Amino acid sequence: MKESYTLAQGAVMTGSSPQDRYKVVWLIFFILGLGTLLPWNFFMTATMYFTSRLGESQNISSVDRLANMNVTEMAGDPPFTYLQSIFNNVMTLCAMLPLLIFTCLNSFIHQRIPQQVRILSSLVAIFLVFMVTAILVKVSMEPLPFFTITMIKIVFINSFGAILQGSLFGLAGLLPATYTAPIMSGQGLAGTFAALAMICAIASGSEIADCAFGYFITACVVILLAIGSYMVLPHLDFFRCYSMKDKTEYQAHENPSELETKVDLIRKGEPNDVELKNPTNGDSHVPHHEPSVLSIFRKIWVMAVCVCLVFTITIGVFPAVTVDVKSTIAGDTIWAGYFTPVSCFLVFNVFDWAGRSLTAVCMWPGKDSSLLPLMVIFRVIFIPLFILCNVQPRRNLPVFFAHDAWYIVFMIFFSVSNGYLASLCMCFGPKKVLPHEAETAGAIMAFFLSLGLALGAVSSFLFRHVI
């Protein structure tokens, strides 16, 4: 039955299907991918701004005073307040928990809430949160209220971001496999953009607040661009042709006689194991039923587990371990100040973007190859490789790869493999199911991507403790 339905779909879609002229649909999915992660990347880049706002004020709480009594002042830097010391941990919790919950929720609600409502409302909500964040840069506020508001914003950003990302991958699942690649590539560019912004801010010597304001305004502009691009998408023939809602209507409108002939030919060669009716008279050409999430997961579980493992390994060591690698050749040179921003963040994001973009021209190995899971599992080797670099401080293990060149080479292969394998899995997942199940498959893949991020965040504490 599966083969018959696939053959029917292939026959219907052949011939009069429009082309993606000038790659407009591809470009729109790229912009939407950029819009999903660039705001959060800028939020992460502005971490120094947030922690600086949580320093001592004129009204220091008793909790902060107690915490400061146990902090040793080093190198003339003021001791961290209690809120500063817990900021990163609480931020990780407030980011990963909603991301995981709402990505899972999206796997079920996408069949009940229209895709247009989910995507547009998420983009608008994230835009409003960043507008508020930009305004608050210019508003003085006590540390505790600022901390509380910031965490609430992180919860909102990641909740709506999870729905946006899951819906977007589900939408891309309706199109050919190559149209998941621009989403992954756009997300990769988001990290590169944020890393370059960080380096430019260091080089300019600008005030932290001014840099943060620039980050947030830029994020707002990108989100507006994503909203505008998405509004154009339903008006493009190529997208309408592949969307499950308009597919049969579009084919019947363009060439009803040709479609009728093709369906008749398929009927002659096929027994009664699949119901095919003429779409021109309004009847459905496939039995109508809601696909089960569990039944779809059984078809794509290998790809889902692979993408989860890719991000578990990546987030397990980046940036928790890699950010603490120190240069052994910089000394007091300018390279010492740029070593981490360049060799850790910029190198990772540039080559991760390259790996994600590579799937637009090469998709090897195939979706049914056993080599793909083996390549994903082999990435575990990067965990001991980074742990044995010059990570400081360290208590247990010796440094084996001390020179900066080792670390940079490891980072290049680590980031390229992350981008390429993750993008490959996300492209193949929705293509292992029937066309009407593709959107659900894309949402499930997005959930396992988020699960990998969460598991990686948890395991990073273990890997850092081992060192």
- What ranges do the domains of the chain cover? 21-57+80-235+289-466
Each residue of 54-69: b (16+ CB within 10 Å) or e? bebbeeebeebeebbe
Q: Does the N-terminal peptide bond of residue 365 adopt cis geometry, omega within 30 degrees of 0? A: yes
The answer to whether 168 and 119 are in contact (CB under 8 A) is yes
pLDDT score recorded for residue 180: 86
The answer to whether 347 and 196 are in contact (CB under 8 A) is no
Rounded-to-integer distance, Cα 65 and Cα 85, Å: 13
Q: Which residues contact 144 (CB under 8 A, 6 or more apart)?
A: 61, 83
What's this model's pTM, rounded to 2 decimal places? 0.75
Rounded percentage of the chain residues whose pLDDT exceeds 70: 81
208-232 helix and 24-45 helix, angle to the nearest 10 degrees:
160
pLDDT score recorded for residue 74: 35
The answer to whether 162 and 110 are in contact (CB under 8 A) is no
Rounded-to-integer distance, Cα 302 and Cα 442, Å: 14
Q: Between the CA of residue 423 and those of 6, 12, 23, 123, 257, what are the distances in Å?
A: 24, 29, 19, 23, 39
pLDDT score recorded for residue 307: 95
What does the pLDDT look like over 407-434, one tens digit per residue? 999 999 999 999 999 999 988 988 888 8
| CATH 1.20.1250.20 given to domain 21-57+80-235+289-466 | yes
What does the pLDDT look like over 262-301, one tens digit per residue? 444 444 444 444 444 444 444 444 444 566 788 888 999 9
What does the pLDDT profile of the chain (467 residues) look like in tens digits? 444 443 334 334 445 567 888 889 999 999 999 998 888 888 888 888 888 888 865 344 333 333 343 333 333 456 778 888 788 778 878 888 888 889 888 877 777 888 889 999 999 999 999 999 999 999 999 999 999 999 999 999 999 998 998 889 888 888 887 888 899 889 889 989 888 988 888 888 778 888 899 999 999 999 999 999 999 998 888 888 877 544 444 444 445 554 444 444 444 444 444 444 444 444 444 444 566 788 888 999 999 999 999 999 998 898 888 888 999 887 778 888 888 889 988 999 999 999 998 988 888 888 888 899 999 999 999 999 999 999 888 888 899 999 999 999 999 999 999 999 999 998 898 888 888 888 888 888 988 998 998 898 888 888 888 88
